[in-house]
Amino acid sequence: MSSYTITIGTIIVIQAIAVCGLNVIVGYAGQISLGHAAFFGIGAYTAAMLSTKAGLSFWTALPLVIAIGGFIGFLLGLPSIRVREDFLAITTIGINFIVEAVFRYVPFFGGALGIGGIPRIVFFGERLKGMTFLLLCLVFLFLVLLVCWWLTRCWASLACYAVRDEESAASTMGISHVRFKLLAFVIGTSMAALAGSLYAHYMQFINAGDFSFPVSVGFLSMLVLGGMGTIWGPVIGTLILGVLPEIFRPLVDYRILFYTLLLLLMIRFQPGGLLGEESAMRRVLAPILRRGKA
Amino acid sequence: MTQPLLSVNGVSKYFGGLKAVDEVDFDVFPREILGILGPNGAGKTVLFNLISGIYQPTAGEVHFCGQRIDGLPPHLIAQRGMGRTFQIVKPFGSLTVLQNVLVARGVMRYGHLTKIWGPWGSKAEIREAMEVLDKVGLTELAQRKASLLPLGNLRRLEIARALIVGHTVLLLDESFSGLRHDEIGQLERLIRRIRDDGRTIILIEHNMRVTMGLCDRIVVLDHGRKIAEGAPKDIQQDEAVIEAYLGRKGISHAS
């Protein structure tokens, strides 16, 4: 594999981890978020600060990064879940702009220059880059998918689905909507923080612009395209929206037009996403999968 | 005299200047079927929302099993064994009928952060859920997605969920409306059976025949106030009730 392919692949895998987190919030718990890049950024900045200023290794910093990401997700989730739908969308956009502004204007976070000199990840004495780093990211993606899969099987997810479908009916079944929305927020933002940490150590230089609002829109587009609430949807969506721009590089000026068109077409014809429950893809795949099992 | 299981004392709910429920008192005793009757807009559903915690009363107290429950959020009241249905059905549309019932089955777990990570749908839980679905006659539709069900079946699904949550008290909000004649008979039998199993039922109903036949006692509301309370036959004779339903002129015709 050429280093170009590996670079594209690594970015896609890192983004897929973040989109899996977004899927927990939007897909499982039904809480729209247009500020997911903020939490991706919080993970990246936390990892960058801990490694450059506190001198921690990626591995010792990782639990801290995930915990801090989840904790900030909890704090910002508290006021956000008091509002619904459109208002929640606007609130999360606001969070994205505020977090980005803090990174950009507070000198402690490197200001407009960002943070550079983030060390590579060392694993058993070897500095990971290229293929080995991609493998590490794939392992993390696998672990995140495992968590997502488990989430669909446990009581917490059943409660989240109930809140997503009918909040007031869920409350009369003993489900506190505040608790389960926050839970989804914390899990989703921790995953974003993990992705952010990998991103920081991969790029070795980060800057506030990497975590701006359009990145959040990108994450949500990937999720909608792949299929909200499905396990593989985030991966498929990220893969397609990660690869297509590379293939159609000459058409780069029309990229936003293309994204918009794609989203409109998806919402019109496949609102559940490519892997959604009644999607064309699933209908094609279902008989093949069934034969495989039999 | 036995202790009331649920007692509503001077409960009011004002929405701005509108007195939706105005100083209503009544007690419900164990294993009783209590009917709440009243014309449209009398405050019946608001009263249910006050009892189940969806609204907080402006004044008054609600006691359940000897403890004060007004002011508690609905999920905590549900965890104490109060189940309810909604007049406008609220199924979890993306889940199957069976999963809808399983959500209710988890009622005692959702309050504990340690109990929500286990897998749902063990064999015992599914068997139990299927038994409840059998009671309401939805066995065949267990794997069907709830959003695809017609109204009559959704009403049964609501009852199935409430049955699991409400191991002490069930609040049924117009569960008969929109049902066919034969379905009404089945539901009446089901409600009697639930009561015979030892549960207490409070129901809001418009169908007079059903209410009179099914309920041990009836509370009548009009414009948010309680205008009568008593056995069905006394309610039928009550002047205030006839007036509320038929207007002043109705009294002379009825007598």
> How would you label A274-292 residue by residue, b for 16+ Cβ within 10 Å and e otherwise?
bbbeebeebeeeeeeeeee
Whether A159 sits inside 8 A of B106 (CB atoms) is yes
Which one is predicted more confidently, A248 or B108? Answer: B108
Q: Which two tokens stand for residue B185?
A: 């008979």
More confident residue, A188 or A112: A188
- Could you give the angle at the alpha carbon of A218 between the alpha carbons of A283 and A231, nearest 5°? 40
Three-state SS sequence of chain B: CCCCCEEEEEEEEEECCEEEEEEEEEEECCCCEEEEECCCCCCHHHHHHHHCCCCCCCEEEEEECCEECCCCCHHHHHHCCEEECCCCCCCCCCCEHHHHHHHHHCCCCCCCCCCCCCECCCHHHHHHHHHHHHHHCCHHHCCCEHHHCCHHHHHHHHHHHHHHHCCCEEEEECCCCCCCHHHHHHHHHHHHHHHHCCCEEEEECCCHHHHHHHCCEEEEEECCEEEEEECHHHHHHCHHHHHHHHCHHHHHHHC
pLDDT, residue B36, reads 93
Collapse the DSSP code of A276 into the 3-class scheme (helix H, G, I; strand E, B; otherwise coil) and give the result. coil
Q: Are the beta carbons of B205 and B211 closer than 8 angstroms? A: yes
Task: Express each pLDDT in A114-136 by its tens digit.
Answer: 888 888 887 777 777 888 889 99
Q: Residue B120, Cβ neighbours under 10 Å: how many?
A: 21
Residue A219: predicted pLDDT: 93
Per-residue pLDDT, B206: 80
The reported pLDDT for the residue numbered A291 is 67
> Residue A183's pLDDT is what?
95
pLDDT in tens, A9-24: 999 999 999 999 999 9
Host domain of residue A248: 3-252
Percent of chain A with pLDDT over 70: 98
Minimum Cα–Cα distance from A152: chain B residue = B119
DSSP A175-239: --HHHHHHHHHHHHHHHHHHHHHHHHHHHS-B-GGGGSHHHHHHHHHHHHHH-TT-SSHHHHHHH
Alpha-carbon gap, residue A259 to A281, rounded angstroms: 20
The 10s digit of each residue's pLDDT in A80-90 is: 888 877 888 89
* The pLDDT of residue A294: 47
CB within 8 Å: A159 and B75: no
pLDDT per residue as tens digits for the range A269-291:
877 778 877 777 777 777 776 66
B75·A153 Cβ contact <8 A: no
Residue B10 in contact with partner chain A when CB distance is under 8 A:
no
Chain B nearest-CA residue for A165: B92
Does A265 fall in a domain? no
**pLDDT confidence bin for A154, thresholds 50/70/90:** very high
Who among A153, A162, A229 is closest to B103 (CB)?
A162
Mean pLDDT value of segment A67-78 = 92
**Domains, chain B:** 6-254 (3.40.50.300)
Least confident of A45-54, A75-84, A172-181, B237-246: B237-246
Pairwise CA distance, residues A58 & A82, whole Å: 35
Our CA dihedral for B22, B26, B32, B37, rounded to 10 degrees, sits at -30
CA-nearest residue to B75 within chain A is A174
Average pLDDT over residues A153-174: 93
Mean pLDDT, 10 residues at a time, chain B of 255 residues: 87 90 92 91 91 93 92 93 93 94 92 90 91 91 92 90 91 87 88 92 87 91 89 85 72 52
Longest dimension (CA), chain A: 61
Summarised one tens digit per residue, pLDDT across range A190-245 is: 999 999 999 999 998 999 989 999 899 889 989 988 888 899 999 999 999 888 87
Q: Please state, for a pLDDT cut of 90, what percent of chain A lies above it.
A: 53
Taking Cα atoms as reference points, which of B15, B24, B67, B68 lies closest to residue B48? B24
pLDDT band at A169 (very low <50, low <70, confident <90, very high): very high
pLDDT at B75: 94
Q: What is the DSSP string of A74-135?
A: HHHHHHHTTS-HHHHHHHHHHHHHHHHHHHHH-GGGTGGG-B--PPPPEETTEE--THHHHH
CB contact under 8 A, B94 and A165: yes
Q: What is the ipTM of this complex?
A: 0.89
Tell whether A223 is covered by a domain: yes
- Select from B83, B90, B94 the Cβ nearest to the Cβ of A168: B90
Cross-chain residue pair A172–B99, CB shorter than 8 Å: no
| pLDDT of amino acid B208 | 80
User: CB neighbours (10 Å) of residue A245?
Assistant: 14
- How many domains does chain A contain in total? 1
Which among B94, B99, B165 has CB closest to A173? B165
The token pair at A115 is 């943070």
Interface subset of A 165-184, CB within 8 angstroms of B: 165-166, 168-176, 179-180
Q: Which residue has the tokens 């991969």?
A: A202
Residue A271 lies in a domain: no
Give the per-residue pLDDT at A62: 92
Q: Provide the CATH number for the domain around residue A186.
A: 1.10.3470
Contacts of B91 in chain A (CB under 8 A): 165-166, 169
